[in-house]
Amino acid sequence: MSILLIAGSPSEHSRSAALLDAVAERLAQRQVHFSRLPIRDLSPQALLLADFNHASVRRAIAQVETARAVVVATPVYKAAYSGVLKVFLDLLPQTGLKGKTVLPLATGGSPHHMLALDYALRPVLQSLSARHILPGVYATDAQIPKDEHGKYHVGDEIATRLDDAVNALLTEGLRMPPTAGFAPVPFSQVRCSV
């Protein structure tokens, strides 16, 4: 199984990249194969001109096609997902996410932009025929502060929400067995008293 992590930030070091890195760490701990697609590394000219024949665009679209699940991370600007992400999503075919589970992640300056996940990004993902869009994780700047070395790190509250989101991605989206809780009990072993 393959999960594609799409970085929709125009910056290499950003809070949304920190969210995506935290998801990658959780997938690696569960020994789940994933690959990355930083949109900022694609040819800007090919993206803006919708050059479907450009090698970087073809490779990116192929990565989306072969993934079973997609995690999309974006900063929120003016109550919408990033323009870099929009340009890329516009290049995908109408059924570009067909049969896939998608986990949306976003960061923004304040809690006021939280609904950008549901009112801006989710409709686009649905229009691309995503099979299942999980509840997204939104984090404010204060929830992903810089450490003493100037690197962003995910705070405890967001870390807990990411744990839940990755678990949902694997169990609901990809039908992997849960790692916590009770072991499944066959119906033939169920005993009840009246």
In a domain, 158, yes or no: yes
Residue 79: predicted pLDDT: 85
Per-residue pLDDT of the chain (194 residues; tens, 9 = 90+): 589 999 999 988 999 999 999 999 999 999 999 999 999 999 999 999 999 999 999 999 999 999 999 999 999 988 899 999 999 999 999 999 999 999 999 999 888 888 888 999 999 999 999 989 999 999 999 999 998 898 999 999 999 999 999 999 999 877 765 555 555 667 777 766 55
Characterize the bridge pairing of strands 69-77 and 80-81.
antiparallel
In a domain, 118, yes or no: yes
3-state secondary structure of 188: helix
**Which CATH number is 98's domain given?**
3.40.50.360
Residue 30: predicted pLDDT: 93
Contacts of 96 (CB under 8 A, 6+ apart): 61, 64, 65, 89, 128, 129
Total domains present in the chain = 1
In a domain, 51, yes or no: yes
In a domain, 167, yes or no: yes
In a domain, 31, yes or no: yes
In a domain, 116, yes or no: yes
pTM of the model: 0.87
Q: Any idea which residue has 């991605």 for tokens?
A: 169
Residue 110: predicted pLDDT: 87
In a domain, 194, yes or no: no
Range of the domain at 63: 3-189
